[in-house]
Structure 1
């Protein structure tokens, strides 16, 4: 979510800069404008770029709705002293306190990534893990979709423009997924 918030802030900053006529963040466009004699951005193009950036911002906000900041704190560090127990759903509080005071779980948290940690806590702390995995899941599924699109773009290049990419995609993605599991 931190990366997403930073990117959304960049989009808003880029919109402001484009409205002021500054397109330095768009390297290719900036090069074309530098080669142009008057170095000015066409008002119609400025509007189109701004609209595109607004549309991208809107789509990202729609695809990744804000989650409660307390859920984020719980996921990032369930052992934090600043995490307020009152912000955790009441039916999960006792289980959370058990987790927070589990020294083996704390050792695992320090040794493993967040996703591996929460997946390993699923058997022992089901309700708390479900909250954490619900927060983490959209990012991993988005990552897999992006990998699929990148693979498709690589396979279906101009030199290999054919319709039946299913076997190639299946092979490429299964190799990719095996690599990400290990």
Structure 2
């Protein structure tokens, strides 16, 4: 997270420099301006500043400014205040959890994800809060796997124009037993 913090500070520095019409932080532009004895037109300067502000906004959207509100996940037994995202009930559960000496030992012995996973039944809300902190990004594995299956099907049967049936089959999580399906079809066909 230090690199994100550093990037946020750089963007702020660059934006404040551009506001002061100082382009030293952009060596290529500064060198060019010095070489041609020119300055940046106000409209161009405004565009650069707007671009930097947009970058800052995007960065904050993806990596919001964090407080130490999630420190309890990593160091459970030194918590001093209610985490902002907690309801009163969740905080009371957290206090109960902290006062359990057996869990204190378990916290020391287990990796964080195993510790919090082990509490899902006894302290579901607190464990879910911890899970959201520990697992902020969902996996794309299943999506990518299904897409690969579908791509293989489309390459194999590229002359077919209707993709809906193929997609339904390829994106389903149900494992097909093609032999059993064919046998049933044959039995129905033979009985008529």
- Asked whether the 8 Å contact 1:33–1:39 carries over to 2, the reply is yes
Unaligned runs of 5+ in 2: 141-150, 153-192
How far apart are the structure 2 equivalents of 1:99 and 1:22? 59
Note the 1:29-178 alignment, pairs <5 A.
29-34=29-34, 36-66=35-65, 69-79=67-77, 81=78, 83-87=79-83, 89-98=91-100, 102-108=104-110, 117-126=111-120, 127-138=125-136, 140=137
Unaligned runs of 5+ in 1: 109-116, 145-165, 168-182
- 1:111 paired residue number: none
Give the 3-state SS of the residue equivalent to 1:21 in structure 2.
coil
Structure with more contact order per residue of length (Cα contacts < 8 Å, sep ≥ 6)? 1
RMSD: 3.5
- Asked whether the 8 Å contact 2:94–2:126 carries over to 1, the reply is yes
Q: How many residues align?
A: 133
TM-score by length of 1: 0.54
- Asked whether the 8 Å contact 1:95–1:128 carries over to 2, the reply is no
Instruction: Give the Å deviation of 1:56.
Output: 1.2
TM-score by length of 2: 0.52
Q: Which has the larger radius of gyration?
A: 2
How far apart are the structure 1 equivalents of 2:52 and 2:40? 16
